[in-house]
Amino acid sequence: MVGIESIYHSVEMRSPLLQNLFSESERRPLTVSELTAQVREALEVRFPSVWVEGEISNFKDHTSGHWYFTIKDEGAQLRATCFRNTNVYIRFRPYDGLKVRARGHLTVYEPRGEYELCVESLDPVGIGALRIAFEQLRDRLAAEGLFDQSLKRPLPLLPRRVGVVTSPSGAAIHDILHVITRRTRTVSILFVPVRVQGEGAGQEIARAIALLNEYHRQALRDGRFDDCVDAIIVGRGGGSIEDLWAFNEEEVARAIRASTIPIISAVGHETDFTIADFAADLRAPTPSAAAEMVAACEDGLAARIADLTRSLGQAARLRTLRARARLQEAAMSPGFDEARARLRSALERTAELRARLEAAIKNRLRSERQRAAETCFRITPKGLSSRLLHDRIRLTEIRAALEARIEMRIEDEKSRLSRAVTSLEALSPLAVLRRGYALVQKEDGALVRSTDDVREGERIDLRLANGKLRCRIEAIEST
């Protein structure tokens, strides 16, 4: 017995599993929910923060805003979830096949009993997140047609007021002012200061573009055409892709495309490209180049005008010298005397025609005066009274003749009516009846034209000129 107890205690000390078999608390079974909760707690305690690298597959952007996907390698796969309040800070959109490095904590999704990685940050492997976000947004907006060349608008020939959207403390505004001041005298600047990098910079740039457009529309409504904005320069100096990212935001691109004013994008250096460059009407490699675009027309036009002025002066002097030489030659030639004789003859002919014209005008004036005198006599009170008496007599004669014709027409119509009445009386059935004849009708009103139409004992009506007789047929005799 002593030997058995020693063996039991030695086994009990070496095997906790066998020890737990004799524990009442350990023999109680766990529910699936309890076991899953304990596993979840153990995982979250053991892996509160872990980095995982692999390839994305089965990516799904749920309507709730959450991302669900799988991270896999050659031997295993891991479900992952990135909630909406986290993925709004991830600048690119994941896609199947992208190799990423994810940081998060492990947990268990209890309804399915599956463990998963709750992603807190996500970076692509081998390519920057900002570069992927840039390419994705560029391709999506290009597919919408936001960058179509048909939407691009040219700059006005001579812009007078230019809006500038940039930082008040950067070098871009100083470069723009320096170039415009040096190359033009008529362009004025309407400056809207904004932040050009950092959180919220894109929203400020979009609001500044909208503000300039509203200012332009209000000036048009008020008739202040000198205050209208002809072009807008949006830009900043060079920097890293992070520094320039405000000009890669979708809100800025849509604000540029919605602008009714042509926009020049001048972001960074010549090798830097942003989404704003694709959406703008014109792209300038630098802010200074954008200012030169605005002032180029006036500068070139002024130089062209100066060249044309010099050429015009030289041509005018040369033409004057040639005309003077031709005049001197003409004055010394025999043809000049002939021209003078022809001119003298033309002057004499003109004087003769002038005298004839004056005589004709005097005769015509005399005739018109005589006609006017006769007309004045006709419209004097005496002349008017005579004309009125004559017209009144004429009116009386016309009225008498008209009344005679009306009386004659009435008598003719009465005669025609009398003859028509006589003819109608002669053709009337009543006239025939007054001569002793009668109409024989059955009870239903049908006329009796033959003895075959009636039978003995049948009632008939005799229609006379002054009434009707009800009769019965006693006998029928045929002839």
* 188 and 287 inside one domain: yes
Helices (H), 223-286: 250-258, 275-279
* 123 and 160 inside one domain: no
Residue 39 lies in a domain: yes
Of 188-202, 261-275, 364-378, 437-451, the range with the highest mean pLDDT is 188-202
Residue 27 lies in a domain: no
Domain finish residue from 257, 273, 301: 301
Domain that holds residue 113: 32-127
Q: What pLDDT is recorded for position 57? A: 84
Domain finish residue from 283, 301, 319: 301
* 211 and 116 inside one domain: no
R_g over Cα of the chain: 59
pLDDT band at residue 234 using 50, 70 and 90 as cut-offs: very high
Average pLDDT, the chain: 82
CA distances from 160 to 61, 157, 163, 179, 225 (A): 49, 10, 10, 15, 10
Question: Over pLDDT 90: what percentage of the chain?
Answer: 12
Between CA 361 and CA 367 the distance in angstroms is 10
* 118 and 182 inside one domain: no
The answer to whether 103 and 120 are in contact (CB under 8 A) is: yes
Question: Is the sign of the CA dihedral 256, 257, 262, 266 positive or negative?
Answer: positive
Tokens representing residue 14 in the block: 């070496």
* 180 and 98 inside one domain: no
Q: What pLDDT is recorded for position 213? A: 93
Q: What is the pLDDT of residues 418-468, one digit of tens each?
A: 888 888 777 777 777 777 778 888 888 888 888 888 888 888 888 887 888
Residue 7 lies in a domain: no
* 117 and 248 inside one domain: no
Q: What pLDDT is recorded for position 33? A: 82
For 462-476, what is the mean pLDDT? 84
- What is the number of structural domains in the chain? 3
* 253 and 294 inside one domain: yes
Residue 299 contacts by C-beta under 8 Å, 6 or more apart in sequence? 183, 184
* 185 and 89 inside one domain: no
Start-to-end CA span in the chain (Å): 168
Between CA 31 and CA 110 the distance in angstroms is 12
pTM here is: 0.46
* 281 and 170 inside one domain: yes
Which strands make up the sheet holding 467-472, listed edge to edge? 439-442, 459-464, 467-472
* 165 and 263 inside one domain: yes
Residue 187 lies in a domain: yes
Residue 2 in this model has a pLDDT that exceeds 50: no
Domain finish residue from 272, 301, 330: 301
Q: Which residue bears the tokens 């991270």? A: 71
Between CA 129 and CA 334 the distance in angstroms is 95
The answer to whether 72 and 57 are in contact (CB under 8 A) is: yes
Residue 416 lies in a domain: no
Residue 102 lies in a domain: yes
Between CA 116 and CA 259 the distance in angstroms is 46
Q: What is the pLDDT of residues 246-300, one digit of tens each?
A: 888 889 999 999 999 999 998 877 777 888 888 899 888 888 888 888 877 666 6
* 116 and 198 inside one domain: no
Between CA 73 and CA 99 the distance in angstroms is 10
Residue 350 lies in a domain: no
Residue 395 lies in a domain: no
